[in-house]
Chains A and B, each alone.
Chain A
Amino acid sequence: GQNIDQPTEMTATEGAIVQINCTYQTSGFNGLFWYQQHAGEAPTFLSYNVLDGLEEKGRFSSFLSRSKGYSYLLLKELQMKDSASYLCAVQDSNYQLIWGAGTKLIIKP
Chain B
Amino acid sequence: IAGITQAPTSQILAAGRRMTLRCTQDMRHNAMYWYRQDLGLGLRLIHYSNTAGTTGKGEVPDGYSVSRANTDDFPLTLASAVPSQTSVYFCASSGQDSNEQFFGPGTRLTVL
A interface residues with partner B (beta carbon < 8 Å): 4, 30-31, 33, 41-45, 48, 87, 89, 91, 95-102
Contacts and interface: CB of A to CB of B under 8 A. Distances in A.
Interface residues of B, number: 18
Contacts of B45: 96-97
Contacts of A99: 35, 42-44
Q: Which 6 A-B pairs have the closest CB atoms?
A: A99-B42, A42-B103, A99-B43, A101-B42, A45-B100, A100-B42
Most chain B CB atoms below 10 A, which of A30, A31, A42, A101? A42
Contacts of A89: 42-43
Does more than half of chain B's interface fall in helix, strand or loop, or is it mixed? loop
B42 A4 contact: yes
Given A87-B43, A99-B42, A101-B42, A42 B105 contact: yes
A42 B42 contact: no
B110 to A, nearest CB: 15
B99 A101 contact: no
B80 interface: no
Given A33-B99, A89-B43, 8 more contacts: A4-B42, A30-B99, A33-B100, A43-B43, A48-B99, A87-B42, A96-B45, A99-B43
A102 B103 contact: no
